[in-house]
Each structure stands twice: as structure tokens, then as C-alpha cells.
Amino acid sequence: MSATDNRTPRDQETREHEARAAWKPPSTLPDPHPRPGIVHRWVRVSTLGQADPGNVSSSFQEGWEPVRAADYPELEFRAERGSRFPDNVEIGGLLLCACPVKVMQQRAEHYRALTARQMQAVNDQLDREQDPRLMRGFRQHETTVGFGPDARRERR
């Protein structure tokens, strides 16, 4: 190396300016970081460019509220042109919404009880329709495949 050479020695060079974040496959719908006490869900606001106000309205009535894009900087997306929710997170006709966990637990309990009542009604209906004189063939599940007295067997 000559005295007039003003290059930096190779072992002192760094490539920090060229460093990039680790590659990851693209995600259609990014997941927000979990927040304590909050559940997230993507709500359909449009399909094939056609607005779906009924779905949005019913979701809002259930307790879902759109989240603000400023509150979720970890989601890398660009706002859609002509969006009805420009300050919120909307991707491909889906709007990111949040709801308290307690409300979703109440919702789950409501539908669990509804399902239990429906199953009880079906069982009660079956019990009412049973006639003791017809019990011989009722609810008897039996399958026979090819080994009865009329089955053909090939001889070797």
C-alpha cells in the first residue's frame, strides 16, 4: 500500500448501509401483534369491488370496531384508493377490527347455549316419536357385507 493511497483497509470496511431485514414470504393478511384483552378479526367490507354494508353493520353490532392504522405500525401495507375507511387497516376488501375478549367470551357462551338447546330439542323430538311397539327395529345399526346365507363365494 503506498503512502498516497487513502483507501480504508478491508478489515475496517462495513456494509451496514447495505444490510436489509431478513426475507420473509409475503402474507395476504398480516397478523397484528397480540394485544392484551383484545381479539382481532378481518371483516369483509367489499367483494369484487361491491360494498357489503350488511356484513359491516352486523359485525359492528356484534362489538367489532375498526382499528386505526396509526395504532398498528407493525402492519406494512398501503392504503387502498377510494377506501371507505382511509384511516383504518383495509386490505383487499377486508377491514381489521378488534373487540374485547370478554365480549367474545359472552358471544361464544351464547352460541354454545343455543347449540345445546337445539341438540336437546332434536333428542326430545326423537324420544317423542319412539313407540314402544316399534322398538325392535329402531336405532339398530347393523351392517353385513357378503357373508350372509345368500352371499356368493368363489371356490378355489
pLDDT in tens, 122-151: 888 887 777 666 555 445 555 555 555 555
Domain range enclosing 111: 104-128
Residue 156 confidence (pLDDT) above 50: no
Q: How confident is the model at residue 155 (pLDDT cuts 50, 70, 90)?
A: very low
Please indicate, yes or no, if residue 16 is contained in any of the structural domains. Answer: no
The position carrying cell 367474545 is 104
Please indicate, yes or no, if residue 108 is contained in any of the structural domains. Answer: yes
Give every CB contact of residue 73 below 8 A, 6+ residues apart in sequence.
none
Give every CB contact of residue 61 below 8 A, 6+ residues apart in sequence.
none
Please indicate, yes or no, if residue 116 is contained in any of the structural domains. Answer: yes
Q: What is the pLDDT of residues 76-123, one digit of tens each?
A: 777 677 778 878 888 888 899 999 999 999 999 999 999 999 998 888
**How many structural domains is the chain composed of?**
1
